[in-house]
């Protein structure tokens, strides 16, 4: 059950909290941290690692909504809802959980910003209500904070800082969520490295 429980926690992370980050998992250069958040039973998470890729390649992968089905842990379905511009879109995601738990789903509003001086890219991707009707047998996630920081290190490497706070809704006990959530980012970041290594996004990157 541990893999399934981490799924829906993997797509989101926060920049706020009331305590220091504590390292909870580490594998192959991927580090996952957790900390408590005021007025929430669910801990905030942060993951970081260094990727062999350019900023543009990572952004291209994040904007490739359908690709999330390959690399985001236990994502059953991911589809574009509305494209506002080349750096802003809305997409729908369904996450698989084992019976008797109900699948989770949500709509994400993704926006990409780049600092003109530092070249650091920030990707804000909170869950937002509306856009897609509620679906029978699925628990809708309406509240999450999910932020990527893509920091260029040199011409071939970037550092990724990913933070998340999410309310998974439904009847999942907080202790279960917090116990297993640390593995989700490791599974996803490992798959993300694999996707970037295919070279597909080198063609998408324009700068």
Give pLDDT, residue 35: 87
pLDDT over 60 at 136, yes or no: yes
CA distance 37 to 185: 19
- Torsion angle defined by CA atoms of residues 112, 72, 187 and 128, in that order, rounded to the nearest 10 degrees: 60
CA distance 101 to 196: 32
CATH architecture of residue range(s) 2-199:
2-Layer Sandwich (3.30)
Name the residue ranges covered by the structural domains of the chain.
2-199
What is the predicted pLDDT for the residue at 184? 82
15: confidence class by pLDDT, cuts 50, 70, 90: very low
**Residue range 147-167: mean pLDDT, rounded:** 93
**pTM for this one?**
0.84
Q: How many CA atoms lie within 13 A of 107 on its CB side?
A: 15
Report CA torsion sign: 132, 136, 137, 143.
Answer: positive
């Amino acid at each position: 059950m541990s893999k399934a429980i981490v799924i829906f926690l993997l797509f989101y992370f926060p920049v706020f909290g009331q305590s220091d980050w504590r390292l909870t998992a580490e594998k192959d250069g991927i580090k996952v941290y957790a900390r408590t958040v005021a007025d929430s039973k669910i801990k905030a998470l942060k993951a970081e690692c260094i990727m062999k890729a350019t900023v543009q390649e990572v952004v291209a992968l994040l904007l490739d909504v359908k690709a999330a089905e390959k690399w985001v842990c236990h994502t059953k379905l991911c589809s574009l809802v509305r494209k506002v511009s080349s750096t802003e879109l809305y997409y729908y995601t369904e996450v698989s959980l084992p019976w008797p738990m109900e699948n989770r789903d949500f709509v994400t509003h993704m926006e990409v910003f780049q600092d003109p001086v530092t070249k650091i890219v920030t990707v804000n991707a909170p869950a937002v209500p509306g856009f897609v009707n509620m679906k029978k047998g699925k628990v809708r996630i309406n509240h999450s904070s999910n932020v990527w920081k893509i920091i260029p290190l040199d011409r071939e490497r970037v550092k990724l800082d990913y933070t998340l706070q999410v309310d998974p809704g439904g009847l999942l006990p907080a202790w279960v969520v917090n116990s297993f959530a640390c593995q989700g980012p490791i599974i996803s970041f490992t798959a993300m490295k694999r996707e970037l290594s295919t070279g597909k996004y080198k063609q998408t990157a324009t700068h």
